Chain A
C-alpha cells in the first residue's frame, strides 16, 4: 500500500499556489502547475476544470475512475493538456483527506508551440518545485522504511559499527586511544572545557626506545610501551585522555584545576612513568622527555600538540628526562621554523643551499690535504640563514637526508674538478642520523662512480647522536659504506656521553676532537690532560685524529706536540666557496712554507 501523504487541502493550497483543482465525480485531483502555465492557460481561456480538458497518456487507464488512479500511484503519469503541445509528467500521490495530488513538471514537445502564443520557453522556468517535492517525498518514504526496519537489526548494526569505530580509534597494542581517537575525544574535550580549569597538552617521548627494541627484542619493547600506556592512563583518566600517537610517542590532554600546582602534578606524573617496572625483568629504566603547553581558548588541538611536541623536542636537546614548557620564545622560534620549512625544500631543489669548504691540513708539515664541506643557505629574501637554524628545520621536517645528499653531490662535483686539475684532496662530508636510515651506501656508491672518484678520498663525518638509536641495520649500512673504501669519522668527539662505546661498536677510522677541547687545552691544565688522554686512546686504537677549531699558533703547537695528525680551523682558513678556495690553497701553501 502506498503511504498517504499527510496534506490537508489548506496545506496543499499554500504549498502549491498554482494548482488546479479537478473535481471528479468521486474525488478531487489537485494539479500542481507552475505560475506561467496557469497564466498561459488563462490567456487561452482554457483553465481546465475537469478531466475532459486533459488526456492521460500514460498509464493507459480511464482516469475518471478513482480506483484506477489509486491502483497506479506507483506509476509515472503523462498527462497532456488538450489542444496544446504541453504535457505534464509526474506522479499522483494520495493525500490524507483522500484527494489526489499530482506532482509533476511541464514538458513542451516543441518550442514552436510557444510561437503561436507569443510566449518563450524561458518564461516557463522555473515552472514549479514539483519534481523536487516528488523526490523529497520519495526520500521521506525511504527514510520511514529505514526507521521501521526491525529495531533489533538496527541496534545490531549500530553496535557493530560502534565496535569497529572503537577499533579504529584505539591503539591495538596498548588499548588506549590512538591518534584518531585522541583527535576525536580531544576536540570534544576542547569544546566542553571547564571554565574553572586549564587545559594542558603533554607530549611524551621515550628515550632510546629503538635501542631497547634492538637490544632486547620487540617483546620487551612492547612491554615498555604497555607499561607506559597503563601508567599514563591511570594518572590521566580522571582529568582527560591519554593516547599513543605512534612509535614511542604518547600524548595526554588534561584539564587541571587552577588551584593545584600543575608543574608539580606533571613532575609527579613523569616520575610515576619513569619508575622501574617489575614486569620488565631487565630492570630497564624508562626514560622520557615531556613537552607541555597550556591550551589557549582559541587554540586548535593540532596547534597545541605541535607546540608541546616542539617544547619536548627542545628540552630533549639538553638531556634525557626533561620537562619543557612551551614559551613565548619557543613559539616565535616555531613560527620562524614553520616559515622556513616550506622554503627549505625548494631551496634544496633550486640549489639555494650550497657547500662551502674549510681546509684540513696535515699537522706534521702544514700541507693542505683536503676540505670539509659545510652547507650554507642563501635565502633570496632573508639572506644567509644560520646552518644551526636550517639544519634544525630540516631535521624537524624530515629533509635532512635530502639535504645531506644534496651537499654530497655538490661537494663531490667540486672534488672531481680538483682531482681533474691534479689536486688529490680528500673531502669530509657530514652525514646526519636520519640519513643512516636511508640507502646511503648506494647513494654514495653511485655518487662516486658517476664522477669516477675513488672512495678513499671521501670521509663521512658522523655525530654521536647518529648512534644514539643504533641498530644492527645501522652497523650493516656503515660496513657497506666502508667497503667502498670510504672512511668514517666521529665528529665533535668528546661532547657526547658514550663516545668510547661507539669507537668500539662501529667501523670508525678517525675522530674529530671537538673545538671546546682545543680552545681550552692551552689555557687549562685539566683540559690539556683530557686532550692528551683522548689522543692516547685514539693512538692505541689506531685512529686518525683531527683537531677542530684551531685559531692560533699556541693551539697549533700544542696539538702538534701531543701528536694530533690533522687540523682544521680559522688559522688555516674559514669555510669558503670553491672559487675562493684557490686563495686558501695559496695561503695554506704559504703557511706550510
Chain B
C-alpha cells in the first residue's frame, strides 16, 4: 500500500502512545526506514507486519489495531489535506458510501499502484443500509468497521454498525448500518 497508509499507522501510534513505542514496533516489524514516503508504494507485507508488530508490542488484538486505524484514517486524511475529497464524495454517510468507489478510482489516478476495494450500498430502508465490501486483501474488515464509525462521527450521524457476514463465508464482507434517532441524520437520509 502507499506510504500514506503506513504513515497514518505511524501517526496513530505516535499520537496515542509515543515515538519510543513507534520505534519498537518499527523494529519488531523488521523495517529499515524510520518513516515512509507518502507517494511511494510499499509491499502490503509492510503494512501487515506493522499491524502484527503493534499488536504484539501493545498487547492488543490485531483487529483492534485495525479498527483504531480505520477511525484514525478519517481524522488523518482530513487533517493531511484530503478533506475536500471527502466532501466531494457527499454530505451524508450514505451519499458518501455510494460515491466511495468513484472517489477511490480517483485515488487510483494519482496513485496508479494502488489496489482499491469496492463497496456496494444496499438500501434496506430509510434508516437501514447494508454495505458490501470486496477486497483482494485479507483481514481488513475490522478496519472498515473503524472507518464507518469514524465517518459517522465526522458526518455527525448516529449509525450502529455491525459486521454481519465474513469474506471467508461469502467471498466478501458485509456490514449492517442502522440509524438511531437523531435530527440531523434523518434529514440527510431523506435527501
Q: How far is the CB of A395 from chain B (nearest CB, A)?
A: 35
Chain B positions within 8 Å of A, measured between CB atoms, are 3-4, 32-35, 37-40, 81-88, 90, 103, 106-107, 109-111, 191
Q: Looking at the complex, which one of B40, B90, B106, B111 makes contact with A132 (CB distance below 8 Å)?
A: B106
Q: How far is the CB of A41 from chain B (nearest CB, A)?
A: 21
Known contacts being A138-B82, A139-B110, A143-B39, is A131 close to B88, with CB within 8 Å?
Answer: yes
Q: Are A76 and B111 in contact (CB under 8 A)?
A: no
* Measured CA separation A76–B39 after assembly (Å): 22
Q: Are B191 and A109 in contact (CB under 8 A)?
A: yes
Q: B interface, by DSSP: helix, strand, loop or mixed?
A: helix
Given A78-B87, A89-B88, A110-B191, 4 other A-B contacts at CB below 8 A? A74-B83, A91-B84, A131-B103, A153-B34
**At the interface, yes or no: A476 with Cβ under 8 Å from chain B?**
no
Q: Are B109 and A142 in contact (CB under 8 A)?
A: no
Q: Are B81 and A163 in contact (CB under 8 A)?
A: no
Q: Are A75 and B83 in contact (CB under 8 A)?
A: yes
5 CB contacts below 8 A, A to B, read A76-B88, A138-B110, A139-B111, A160-B33, A163-B32
* Measured CA separation A78–B84 after assembly (Å): 10
A70-111 interface bits toward B, Cβ cutoff 8 Å, 1 = contact, 0 = none: 000011111000000000011100000000000011010110
Residues in chain A near residue B85, CB distance under 8 A: 131, 134-135, 138
Q: Looking at the complex, which one of B34, B38, B87 makes contact with A146 (CB distance below 8 Å)?
A: B38
Q: How far is the CB of A108 from chain B (nearest CB, A)?
A: 11
Q: A interface, by DSSP: helix, strand, loop or mixed?
A: helix
* Measured CA separation A89–B111 after assembly (Å): 22
Q: How far is the CB of A140 from chain B (nearest CB, A)?
A: 8
Known contacts being A138-B81, A139-B111, A146-B38, is A76 close to B33, with CB within 8 Å?
Answer: no
Q: Are A75 and B33 in contact (CB under 8 A)?
A: no
**At the interface, yes or no: A196 with Cβ under 8 Å from chain B?**
no
Q: Looking at the complex, which one of A58, A135, A163 makes contact with B110 (CB distance below 8 Å)?
A: A135
**At the interface, yes or no: A500 with Cβ under 8 Å from chain B?**
no
* Measured CA separation A77–B85 after assembly (Å): 11
Q: Looking at the complex, which one of A76, A145, A153, A157 makes contact with B32 (CB distance below 8 Å)?
A: A157
Q: Are B40 and A146 in contact (CB under 8 A)?
A: yes
* Measured CA separation A76–B35 after assembly (Å): 29
Q: Are A153 and B88 in contact (CB under 8 A)?
A: no
Question: Considering only CB atoms, which chain B residue lies closest to A156 in the complex?
Answer: B34
Max count, chain A CB within 10 A of own CB: residue among B3, B38, B86, B191: B38
Residues in chain B near residue A143, CB distance under 8 A: 38-39
Max count, chain A CB within 10 A of own CB: residue among B32, B33, B35, B40: B32
**At the interface, yes or no: A164 with Cβ under 8 Å from chain B?**
yes
